[in-house]
Amino acid sequence: MPLTVATWNINSVRLRMPIVERLLREKAPDILCLQETKCPDDLFPAEAFRRLGYEHIAIHGQKGYHGVATVARRPIEMVEKRRFCEIEDSRHVSVRFQAGGRSILLHNFYVPAGGDEPNPAINWKFKHKLDFVAEMNAVPAEPDENSGSILVGDLNIAPLEHDVWSHKQLLNVVSHTPVETENFEAMRKAGRWVDLMRHNVPDDRKLYTWWSYRAQDWQASNRGRRLDHVWSSGSLVPAFRGYEILRDARGWDRPSDHVPVIASFDLD
């Protein structure tokens, strides 16, 4: 069986625990990385995960906002809860686990959304987002062939033309502006990260992981964006076997506006 790693911006883990449980029962990923948990560490629903076999938990949360958590059916070792931009806002956690004779470092990120105005001079949220992405240059993929790195999460940027429903109409919309997409891709390449979701998928194929709550009928309008990402070090690319975007989860009861992405690796 392949090793599977899922990523999902759940938009409140306690509120949406029923659909998290559905995902774990139906898909049973080996590791699940959640973002926007909106939950302090002491209130995280750890027992609910343990009952489903996810006994290994690394959390970095806060009350009401942001927050990331990584839960696993296999042992994981907490590595770091990194602070970015000198702000304590719970947007990163990394763990290490063993698979296929390798030591794998797994980063779970929640990049700031950036607000609505794409001008850092008048919108501090957008400036924070740009500064955060710039600091991610200090998180490169591990180059060692005997190890490996995976980076997943809600990175809140749709970098390519066909990662959004309309490249032309969204060029001045936060998440797809040139300053974001260019800096984002430069950071990824400088860190020697491979965009696995585009590794064997042509750039002209539409890929979405997010559909706005504002859409009256998200499915009919299909105005999506690819805000959730799966990257790896080059050393893990030969083991990568593909991924699944669970589009149907956008229609589950009380859904998040993001859907899970599950990547598979031949590592066990």
Q: pLDDT digits over 168-208, tens only?
A: 999 999 999 999 999 999 999 999 999 999 999 999 999 99
Classify 182 as helix, strand or coil: helix
Sheet (strand 3-9) strand order: 56-60, 68-72, 31-35, 3-9, 261-265, 240-245
Whether the predicted model's global pTM rises above the 0.95 cut: yes
For the chain, the helix, strand and coil percentages under 3-state DSSP, each to the nearest 5:
25, 30, 45
Place of tokens 């049973």: 28
Listed range (102-111, 140-149, 239-248) with the worst mean pLDDT:
140-149
- Residue 98 belongs to what H/E stretch? strand 92-99
Which pLDDT belongs to residue 6? 99
The pLDDT-based confidence of 211 (bands split at 50, 70, 90) is very high
CA 176/CA 60 separation, integer angstroms = 28
Domains contained in the chain, CATH given: 3-265 (3.60.10.10)
Structure confidence by residue, pLDDT tens digits, 124-177: 999 999 999 999 999 999 887 788 999 999 999 999 999 999 999 999 999 999
pLDDT above 90 for 227: yes
Contact 31, 4 (CB under 8 A): yes
CA 127/CA 155 separation, integer angstroms = 15
- Residue 221 belongs to what H/E stretch? helix 218-221
Contact 95, 79 (CB under 8 A): yes
